[in-house]
């Protein structure tokens, strides 16, 4: 097994190339995925290698091309639909929520929709309110969808193929600040499942639960806390629907404290769901109140200092963790 230096973006591109080579039914479609190479350069070079029939530039209509992807999936193809950013996916909500997510149920199991939809999510790049939100929980709310949030090179490389093999629609949220993430990745890439959370750091003082672009922040916060003798379990949810609460609960029963870091807004957040389940299933294992750090309840600002102030960055995570351990 060889190990090579790569980036999150390149890992995603390698996953696309592998899928296109493995299965003739796989094709990519979306705005600027072909000649331009994708808004975040994930599909760069695929048009030249696989041709226009399998790497298709679409009109500027999310509702239209997501609908076409649903139809292709029903027809036996395996489409990968790229939406430029999660905010724009709202234009395709009808197709995703009212059609793709419901067809298996409404057909009595006669039809499946093996569709993968990828999109960028999250803030931190001064792109203001229409390009910076974390709306993953909106989709994680919907039965019939599987929702993934790869935060590591291994997951970026390995989640696409099992998602394409799933008979039901899978949404993959790629935090835009992760695209330039660098690191080593084994080749051939290790297999990745799309069912379970992952323990990314082990400790005993508290459990920090997070996902996506907040994972590097949580790990950075855990490094700072460790300097004060506060060692934290850091759990990467990875799969937002269905949630792997067994991993979370096992950690909470060990550390007796839990802090959820979620770039979504606090109200009706994924953090709220995780903490509710901890309260329901592990209340008597807790030695401190449930805690969370979320984005401020404002549209994400453009100004850098205001954007930083709105996000759950490491200093906020460290402060919340210290207060939790101190019993404040």
Residues 254-287 have pLDDT tens digits of 999 999 999 999 999 999 999 999 999 999 999 9
Domains 2-187 and 198-326 are alike in CATH topology: yes
Burial of 246 (0-12, 13-18, 19+ CB in 10 A): exposed
Backbone phi, psi, residue 139, to 5°: -80, -35
CB atoms within 10 A of CB 309: 13
Distance CA 311, CA 135 (A): 14
The encoded tokens of residue 103 equal: 């067809």
Residue 89 binned pLDDT confidence (cut-offs 50, 70, 90): very high
Beta carbons of 173 and 121 less than 8 angstroms apart:
yes
Catalytic residues: 62, 131
Please write the tens of the pLDDT for every residue from 287-317. Answer: 999 999 999 999 999 999 999 999 999 999 9
* pLDDT for 297: 97
Beta carbons of 185 and 12 less than 8 angstroms apart:
no
Percentage of residues of the chain with pLDDT beyond 70? 99
Residue 327 binned pLDDT confidence (cut-offs 50, 70, 90): confident
Residue 194: DSSP 8-state = S
Give residue limits of the domains in the chain.
2-187, 198-326
Beta carbons of 200 and 215 less than 8 angstroms apart:
yes
In 3D space, the residue among 191, 193, 190, 175 whose CA is nearest the CA of residue 239 turns out to be: 193
Please write the tens of the pLDDT for every residue from 52-70. Answer: 999 999 999 999 999 999 9
Percentage of residues of the chain with pLDDT beyond 90? 95
Q: Say yes or no: domain 198-326 is CATH 3.40.50.300.
A: no
The architecture that CATH gives domain 2-187 is 3-Layer(aba) Sandwich (3.40)
Residue 328 binned pLDDT confidence (cut-offs 50, 70, 90): low
> What is the average per-residue pLDDT within 96-120?
96
């Amino acid at each position: 097994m060889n190990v090579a230096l790569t980036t999150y973006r390149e890992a995603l591109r390698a996953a696309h190339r592998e899928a296109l080579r493995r299965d003739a039914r796989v094709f990519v479609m979306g705005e600027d995925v072909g000649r331009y190479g994708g808004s975040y350069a994930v599909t760069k070079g695929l048009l030249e290698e696989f041709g226009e029939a399998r790497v298709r530039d679409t009109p500027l209509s999310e509702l239209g091309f997501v609908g076409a992807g649903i139809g292709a999936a029903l027809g036996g193809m395996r489409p990968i639909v790229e939406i430029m950013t999660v905010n724009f996916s709202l234009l395709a909500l009808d197709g995703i929520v009212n059609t793709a997510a419901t067809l298996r149920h409404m057909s009595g199991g006669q039809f499946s929709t093996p569709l993968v939809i990828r999109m960028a999510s999250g803030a931190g790049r001064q792109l203001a309110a229409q390009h910076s939100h974390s709306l993953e929980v909106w989709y994680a709310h919907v039965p019939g969808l599987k929702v993934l949030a790869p935060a590591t090179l291994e997951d970026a490389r390995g989640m696409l193929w099992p998602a394409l093999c799933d008979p039901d629609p899978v949404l993959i949220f790629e935090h835009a600040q992760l695209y330039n993430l660098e690191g080593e990745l084994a080749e051939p890439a290790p297999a990745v499942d799309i069912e379970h959370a992952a323990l990314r750091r082990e400790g005993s003082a508290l459990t920090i639960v997070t996902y996506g672009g907040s994972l590097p922040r949580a790990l950075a916060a855990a490094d700072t806390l460790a300097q004060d003798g506060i060692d934290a379990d850091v759990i990467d949810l990875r799969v937002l629907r269905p949630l792997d609460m067994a991993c979370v609960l096992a950690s909470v029963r060990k550390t007796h404290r839990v802090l959820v870091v979620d770039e979504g807004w606090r109200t009706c957040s994924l953090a709220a769901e995780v903490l509710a389940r901890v309260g329901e299933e592990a209340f008597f294992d807790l030695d401190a109140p449930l805690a969370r750090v979320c984005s401020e309840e404002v549209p994400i600002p453009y100004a850098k200092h205001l954007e930083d102030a709105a996000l759950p960055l490491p200093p906020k995570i460290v402060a919340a963790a210290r207060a939790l351990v101190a019993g404040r």
